[in-house]
Amino acid sequence: MKKVLVLLASIFLITFFAAGAAVAQETVKIGYCAPLSGPSAAWGLPGLEGVEIWLDKVNNDGGLKVGNKTYKVEIVKYDNEGIGSKALLGSRKLVEEDGVVAMLMLGGATSAAAQPYLTKKKIISFVLIASDIKKDRPYLMDVTDNFPTYHLLHTEYIAEAHPEAKTAAIICQDDEIGTAAIAWSEAGFEAAGIDVVYSKPFGVETTDFAPIVTAALAQKPAIISTGASYPEFQALILEQAYTQGWKGIVTSACWDFKAITAKVPDGWMDGAISGFPDFDDPKLTPEHNEFWKAWQAKFPGHSFSEIVWEYSAALDVWAYGAQLAGDVKPEKVYKALKGAKSVPHSFGQAQWWGTEVFGIDNLLVPTWPITEIKNDKPHIVAQKSLLEWLAKPGNKEILDKYLVKWKMK
Amino acid sequence: MEFIGQTILNGLMTSSFYALIAVGLTLVFGVMHIVNFAHGEFYMIGAYTVWVLYAKMHWPFFLAVLAALIIVGLLGFLSEHLIFRHAKGNVLSGFIMAVGLVFVLQTAVVKIWGVGKMKPVPAAYPQLLDFGGISTSWQRFIVIPVTILLLGALWFFLDRFRLGRALRASALNPEAAALQGISVKKSASTALLIGSALAGAAGALMAPIMSVHPYMGHAVIWTAFVVIIVGGAGNIKGTVLASLLFGFLTTIITTLLDSTIANLVNVLVMLVVLAIRPQGLTGHAEH
Amino acid sequence: MQNISYRQAFFIGVFPIIAVSAPFTLSGYKVDLLTNLLINIMLVSSFRLITTTGGWSLAHIPMMGCGAYASALFTGALGVPFLISLPLSGLTAGLIGALIGYPLARTKGFAFFVASFAAGEAIRLSWMRFKVPFGGHSGLMVPIPDLFESVSWLDFSTAVPYYFLTLLVTLICLAVLYRLDRSRIGNTLKAIESHEDLTRSVGINRTKYKVIAFSVGSFFAGIAGVVLAHRLWAIEPHQFGFTTTLYLLVWVVFGGSHTFSGPIYGVVSLTLLAEVLRPLAEWVPMIFGAIIILTLIFLPDGLESLPGKIRPYLWKGKERREPPPPAEETRPGPMAAPESSER
């Protein structure tokens, strides 16, 4: 009788503890400090959609297994409205009140304001803007978007596919992101033998783009690059280009396609060159197509852009690093990631690069797809590699020249 | 030549836009001695009205603009009754009350329609308009005739209608007007109704052209202030002249330099005018 | 010696205890909120000084920005130590205040209002436009204060030591402002607004005193800006924009500006309210907007006038008929309908 009781008691206790261990799953929090409102909201808000899909997948699978623990991952968001001081306040709150182990950010001036603080606290910041990478910010890395380096590749493709286009205008706002787009685009155009006839940055508070586009069109460009103007601005600029009677080749990095097509006629954007396919593109992998299906199911009717998947792709890299390190502590994840020779990126295996240009190699560089719009949808038409571009004779010097001109080096 | 022509066209369109907004503001100041700082938010609500009725519910564009005019006008009327009436002619009180109204309206719009990406309003008249090389869209161009129409109607009202003349009397001399049996309170409500309606119309016309978001009023309110100060607060003719001046000044400077410098120049012009001739270009001396 | 009133007892006894012990019981984030509150207290008190001469300056926040930018440049580009940069930047703000205060002093009422906005905005637009030296849109980085570097536990990059630094600076500034208010100069300043004709006939140089008030007010706004900048480690033009000014106006109107402590009541109560309402953070601007409208309609002289209005109801019985003892000195403030037309 006693033996039975002891047995029952043991079974009961074991079950209790096992259940307790499963229930007492630890939570790891990651901060999402990005513009969720304002002119750059299109670079922050859609990212939450992709992140939600990522969280669904990971948490429904039972959580993220790191080392011998399983974590439920939670994202804490903060709207910095695209303003530096707010980004700093948000970072402080996310780190001190919420205890996040990593930050997902857009980059640019907003992340710049928060960097001294985040570096001090040794929190990894994943940004979408490579030109933010600097030697005194070792914990800031760009593991998804290759802005602004892919402007070099877009411009090279345009020269190959449209050799008759010999002049280009670059219309971007006057801030860190805009200046970076202009510098790298100018370098790319020159290396491709195209003349840049207009590259004046416009003020961020501009509401009326008519005079600006008038000034640009006066130089008769065959190509217009809206580089990395805020998505709202791109729509208004291209609308002006259309209404002022221009027709030519459009190129840009991160547009909000639906916002643009609301302002210009159907088919006007055909032929536009960019670097972001829709994830149902047949030239991508099954994982991409799966993500697309899940996104379409959860957010029908929404506008797809690279922003939707880039933040969650950073989460993929973070998870990879955490699992490699066997720990979620920021410094351990950082060491593991930087120590890896190649890291899986959304577009394939990628290398760490950037020391000659940024001072530290915190940019993950894969081969990048080039897309062209056909029937108001992007299609992959080529693949290009930044490392190959840099290896071509004379290109490095041209890039350096423009980085110095725009005070980025 | 095309460049100059295009710039002149841009300047005219900007001037019309400024005039539509500033005249409403100056009318209110003239009659009530209140600076309605929430004027920018009335403009914003006009734009949202068009977004809801035209972009989402597919009403005809001009019907949506008319609706915006009426709705915002009523909003102005209500504001006068509930809020501005209590300022009793004190400029500072009126201003702070308007500040409170700004917060209330902005938050209301944010809660109802969200903040985040701006609301895209498709162009109602995207067809291009071409004057021998100078091109724009009908959508942008109609600001000019509509502004002329509305301001003309206002002039007619102030000149020929009893209520309009009562408004002018209250603006010139409230005590004398009251002695004549004119209800100063009624004039105040009417002024705010008309002034707000004009702001709503401006927002409605601009919705397909500019970005629609809850804080869009902020960008226009201070330019409106600059215009009415330089033109003479309370003086409609002066305000229209100042609108032309600043419309062209801003357009030219933005085309040749950039918009931050254009704002800077506008602000400095206002400072100089205030220091040298506080009543503005054509205003009467402050009593 | 006067009997100490309950209010004075609070300030002498209870308040310091709370002020000193609170930071150790709260999280770093909340300590930062307290630091911000102290900075805002300096802001409203210095603003009030300017209002005593009748001017409601919309340039006050840009003056705060002048102090912040000055310190960023002094400690950053020029390597000046923090302890020197603090008063120096304040002086810079004060000087700029004097420069723009002179033409502003010649305007009145609504014109002053708008002119002060224009002057402040012109300064702010210059920060936005000129990357050199102001950093343009992205602003400037601000170094951590280099104080007591040898003392390892005094790390001014952390919240608690910085809070105490701010507390010290705030108390000194408030003491100076209070003494000024009660002094002869303070009385002259107040007379300029309330007794226009009298001051003129006595031969007081109104312009000179208006400029003094503007300049001193700007000096303290600049100090507040320096303290803010060295906590945030980065400043940019948007921080000193009109939204901040709107909140400043709401605090001062809500609290009242006739008494020295009125604005302080305003900023403290509204800041506490905003914290309490944090779960409803999106509604806060609307609540503030409604509060300020209701205040202007029902309590135009602000919170500070509340005790004066309630007191008659606290008297019992027949004593209710007697007029209540006069509260603090009252003077018709900007909220009252103007007798001499200030339009």
DSSP per-residue codes, A149-215: THHHHHHHHHHHH-TT--EEEE--BSSHHHHHHHHHHHHHHHHTT-EEEE---B-TT----HHHHHH
| Interface contact flag, A258 B3, Cβ < 8 Å | no
Give chain B positions within 8 Å (CB) of A203: 258-260
pLDDT greater than 80 at residue C157: no
Tell me: do C221 and C263 sit in the same domain.
no
- Put simply, whether C157 touches A (Cβ < 8 Å) is yes
Tell me: do C211 and C111 sit in the same domain.
yes
Tell me: do C224 and C281 sit in the same domain.
no
The first and second tokens of residue C151, run together, are 């003392």
Cα distances from A400 to residues A100, A190, A192, A206, C12, in angstroms, run: 37, 12, 15, 30, 64
pLDDT greater than 60 at residue C145: yes
Task: Give the model's pLDDT for residue C343.
Answer: 36
> ipTM of the predicted structure?
0.84
Mean pLDDT of C123-147: 84
CA A382 to chain centre: 20
Pick from C45, C9, C3, C5: which is nearest to C174 by CA?
A: C45
The pLDDT confidence band at residue A154, using thresholds 50, 70 and 90, is: very high
Question: CA A186 to CA A86: how far, in whole Å?
Answer: 32
Tell me: do C50 and C170 sit in the same domain.
yes
Mean pLDDT of A382-407: 93
Task: Give the model's pLDDT for residue B40.
Answer: 94
Give, as one character, the DSSP assignment of residue C3.
P
Of C215, C240, C265, which residue constitutes the final position of a domain? C240
The pLDDT confidence band at residue A13, using thresholds 50, 70 and 90, is: low
Q: A3-17, A33-47, C212-226, C271-285: which has the minimum mean pLDDT?
A: A3-17
Taking CA–CA distances from C252, the nearest residue in chain B reads: B96
| Percent of chain C topping pLDDT 90 | 35
Tell me: do C191 and C298 sit in the same domain.
no
Cα distances from A230 to residues A126, A170, A173, A182, in angstroms, run: 20, 14, 8, 13
Pick the residue of A243, A247, A255 with the most B CBs within 10 A to test the interface with B by mutation.
A243
Question: CA A250 to CA A227: how far, in whole Å?
Answer: 10
Q: A92-101, A266-275, C126-135: which has the minimum mean pLDDT?
A: C126-135
Higher pLDDT, C12 or A310: A310
Tell me: do C92 and C236 sit in the same domain.
yes
Domain assignment of residue C338, yes or no: no
| Percent of chain B topping pLDDT 90 | 33
| Interface contact flag, C238 A83, Cβ < 8 Å | yes
pLDDT greater than 70 at residue A332: yes
Task: Give the model's pLDDT for residue B1.
Answer: 65
Closest Cβ–Cβ partner in B88, B90, B225 for C114: B225
| Interface contact flag, B120 A258, Cβ < 8 Å | yes
E strand residue ranges, chain C? 140-141, 234-235
The pLDDT confidence band at residue A15, using thresholds 50, 70 and 90, is: low
Task: Give the model's pLDDT for residue A227.
Answer: 86
The first and second tokens of residue B45, run together, are 């609500």
Residues 6+ apart with CB under 8 A from C332: C194, C339
Q: What is the pLDDT of residues A176-211, one digit of tens each?
A: 889 999 999 999 999 999 999 999 999 887 878 888
| Interface contact flag, C234 A174, Cβ < 8 Å | no
Q: Where are the domains of chain B?
A: 19-216
Give, as one character, the DSSP assignment of residue A96.
I
Of C199, C221, C240, which residue constitutes the final position of a domain? C240
pLDDT greater than 80 at residue B128: no
Residues from C contacting B (CB-CB < 8 Å) are 56, 103, 106-107, 109-111, 113-115, 117-119, 121-122, 125-126, 128-129, 242, 246, 249-250, 253, 282-283, 285-286, 288-293, 296-297, 300, 334-338, 341-343
Of C179, C212, C240, which residue constitutes the final position of a domain? C240
Please answer whether residues A236 and A263 qualify as being in contact, where contact means their C-beta atoms are separated by less than 8 angstroms.
Answer: yes
| Interface contact flag, A96 C28, Cβ < 8 Å | yes
Residues 6+ apart with CB under 8 A from A206: A173, A212, A233, B254, B258, B259
Question: CA B248 to CA B15: how far, in whole Å?
Answer: 7
Domain assignment of residue C251, yes or no: yes
| Interface contact flag, A265 B126, Cβ < 8 Å | yes
Task: Give the model's pLDDT for residue B7.
Answer: 85
| Interface contact flag, A92 C29, Cβ < 8 Å | yes
- Put simply, whether B113 touches C (Cβ < 8 Å) is no
| Percent of chain C topping pLDDT 70 | 85
Question: CA B187 to CA B183: how far, in whole Å?
Answer: 6
Closest Cβ–Cβ partner in B120, B215, B260 for A262: B120
- Put simply, whether A258 touches B (Cβ < 8 Å) is yes
| Interface contact flag, A214 B123, Cβ < 8 Å | no
Pick from C238, C268, C239: which is nearest to C251 by CA?
A: C268
Give chain C positions within 8 Å (CB) of B229: 114
Domain assignment of residue C13, yes or no: no
Domain assignment of residue C186, yes or no: yes
Domain assignment of residue C305, yes or no: yes
Task: Give the model's pLDDT for residue A7.
Answer: 62
3-state DSSP call for residue A66? strand
Domain assignment of residue C202, yes or no: yes
Range of the structural domain that residue C94 is part of: 22-240
Tell me: do C158 and C281 sit in the same domain.
no
Q: What is the pLDDT of residues A259-308, one digit of tens each?
A: 888 888 889 999 999 999 999 998 999 989 999 999 999 998 888 888 99
Burial (CB count <10 Å: 0-12, 13-18, 19+), residue A66: buried
pLDDT greater than 80 at residue B212: yes
Mean pLDDT over the full length of chain C: 82
A45 CA: distance to closest CA in chain B (Å): 7
Task: Give the model's pLDDT for residue A245.
Answer: 85
Task: Give the model's pLDDT for residue C63.
Answer: 96
pLDDT greater than 70 at residue B100: yes
Domain assignment of residue C6, yes or no: no
Residues 6+ apart with CB under 8 A from A178: A172, A201, A227, A228, A229
The first and second tokens of residue A159, run together, are 């020269």
Mean pLDDT of C10-16: 67
CA C238 to chain centre: 19
Q: What is the pLDDT of residues C22-78, one digit of tens each?
A: 777 777 778 888 899 999 999 999 999 998 887 889 999 999 999 999 999 999 888
Question: CA B202 to CA B188: how far, in whole Å?
Answer: 21
- Chain A: list its partners (3+ Cβ pairs within 8 Å): B, C
The first and second tokens of residue B213, run together, are 């978001």
pLDDT greater than 70 at residue A80: yes
Q: What is the pLDDT of residues C158-173, one digit of tens each?
A: 788 888 899 999 999 9
The single residue listed with the structure tokens 């006894």 is: C13
Task: Give the model's pLDDT for residue C7.
Answer: 65
Closest Cβ–Cβ partner in C109, C292, C343 for B99: C292
Question: CA C92 to CA A329: how far, in whole Å?
Answer: 45
pLDDT greater than 80 at residue B104: yes
| Interface contact flag, B286 C337, Cβ < 8 Å | no
Task: Give the model's pLDDT for residue A17.
Answer: 54
Closest Cβ–Cβ partner in C29, C136, C236 for A93: C29
Mean pLDDT of C223-248: 89
Give, as one character, the DSSP assignment of residue C145.
P
Please answer whether residues B120 and C292 qualify as being in contact, where contact means their C-beta atoms are separated by less than 8 angstroms.
Answer: no
Give chain B positions within 8 Å (CB) of A260: none
Task: Give the model's pLDDT for residue C342.
Answer: 38
Mean pLDDT over the full length of chain B: 85
Tell me: do C38 and C151 sit in the same domain.
yes
Inter-helix orientation angle C184-194/C206-232, to 10°: 110
Mean pLDDT of C107-119: 82
Q: How many domains does chain C have?
A: 2
Taking CA–CA distances from C302, the nearest residue in chain B reads: B93
Residues 6+ apart with CB under 8 A from C172: none
| Interface contact flag, A259 B117, Cβ < 8 Å | yes
Task: Give the model's pLDDT for residue C335.
Answer: 46
Closest Cβ–Cβ partner in C117, C282, C343 for B91: C343
- Put simply, whether B265 touches A (Cβ < 8 Å) is no
Closest Cβ–Cβ partner in B88, B99, B222 for C246: B99
Closest Cβ–Cβ partner in B116, B216, B251 for A36: B116
Tell me: do C222 and C97 sit in the same domain.
yes
- Put simply, whether C281 touches A (Cβ < 8 Å) is no
Tell me: do C82 and C130 sit in the same domain.
yes
Q: A15-19, B135-139, B152-156, C145-149: which has the minimum mean pLDDT?
A: A15-19
Task: Give the model's pLDDT for residue A34.
Answer: 93
Give, as one character, the DSSP assignment of residue C2.
P
Domain assignment of residue C294, yes or no: yes
Tell me: do C26 and C144 sit in the same domain.
yes
Closest Cβ–Cβ partner in A84, A97, A204 for C27: A97
Tell me: do C181 and C253 sit in the same domain.
no
* pTM, entire model: 0.82
Mean pLDDT over the full length of chain A: 89
Question: CA C74 to CA C68: how far, in whole Å?
Answer: 10
Q: B114-118, C39-43, C92-96: which has the minimum mean pLDDT?
A: B114-118
What residues pair up with A230 in beta bridges, in sequence order?
none
Contacts 24+ apart (CB under 8 A), A113-119: A113/A84, A113/A85, A113/A87, A113/A88, A113/C138, A113/C139, A113/C232, A113/C234, A113/C236, A114/A33, A114/A84, A114/A87, A114/A88, A114/A90, A114/C234, A115/A140, A116/C141, A116/C233, A116/C234, A117/A88, A117/A91, A117/A92, A117/C233, A118/A91
